């Protein structure tokens, strides 16, 4: 695996791009049309607009349900930033992300997630940005934190 030579955002979907619990799949795990899905994606688009070289690695459990082409489609205007999915599986989301960081040789990254392990990891590593599951990116605090982290990453871009 060649190292990615740009900064990346590890991106969860549920609890980040829309509230946790928004119906997304039917009983056969097929994606349903639901206007409440990805309602906060435009916020991420706006926050990343100043940083055109920042990529996205999907860390969401959606990576286990859908192929890359579907994930890319779900990212909408952010699709051009897609550089892959977390391929490492561990006992917690934060461990999966850290294993992927090592596997890919990443230097510049942040992770947006509502997983409890990310909340715990944030206390030790500010590259983990924890979201409230009901608020995700709609939280002004999360937006401000992400903006600050992106500004720091951009100063260190390759």
Q: Is residue 32 part of a domain?
A: yes
Q: Exposure of 52 by Cβ count < 10 A (0-12 exposed, 13-18 middle, 19+ buried)?
A: exposed
Name the domain count of the chain. Answer: 1
Given this model, what pLDDT does residue 1 score? Answer: 44
Q: Is residue 60 part of a domain?
A: yes
Distance, CA of 26 to CA of 44 (rounded, Å): 27
**Token pair of 97 as six digits:** 């992300």
pTM above 0.85, yes or no: yes
Q: Is residue 1 part of a domain?
A: no
The domain in which residue 129 lies consists of: 8-155
C-beta separation of 97 from 79 below 8 A: no
Q: Is residue 13 part of a domain?
A: yes
Q: Is residue 138 part of a domain?
A: yes
Q: Is residue 126 part of a domain?
A: yes
Instruction: Give pLDDT tens digits along the chain (158 positions).
Output: 444 668 999 999 999 999 999 999 888 888 899 999 999 999 999 999 999 999 999 999 999 989 999 999 999 999 999 999 999 788 899 999 999 999 999 999 999 999 999 989 999 999 999 999 999 999 999 999 999 999 988 655 43
Q: Is residue 55 part of a domain?
A: yes
Give the CATH number, domain containing residue 61: 3.40.50.1000
Q: Is the dihedral of CA 68, 44, 98, 107 positive or negative?
A: positive
Q: Is residue 45 part of a domain?
A: yes
């Amino acid at each position: 695996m060649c190292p990615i030579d740009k900064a990346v955002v590890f991106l969860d979907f549920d609890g980040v791009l829309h509230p946790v619990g928004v119906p997304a799949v039917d009983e056969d795990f097929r994606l349903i049309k639901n206007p409440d899905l990805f309602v906060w994606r435009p916020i991420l688009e706006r926050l990343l607009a100043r940083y055109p070289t920042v990529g996205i690695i999907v860390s969401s459990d959606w990576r286990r349900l859908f192929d890359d082409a579907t994930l890319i489609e779900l990212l909408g205007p952010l699709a051009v930033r897609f550089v892959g999915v977390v391929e490492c599986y561990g006992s917690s989301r934060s461990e999966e992300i850290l294993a992927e960081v090592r596997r890919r040789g990443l230097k510049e990254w942040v992770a947006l997630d509502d997983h409890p392990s990310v909340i715990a990891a944030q206390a030790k590593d500010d590259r983990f940005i924890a979201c409230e599951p009901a608020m995700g990116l709609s939280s002004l605090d999360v937006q401000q934190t992400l903006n600050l982290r992106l500004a720091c990453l951009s100063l260190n871009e390759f």
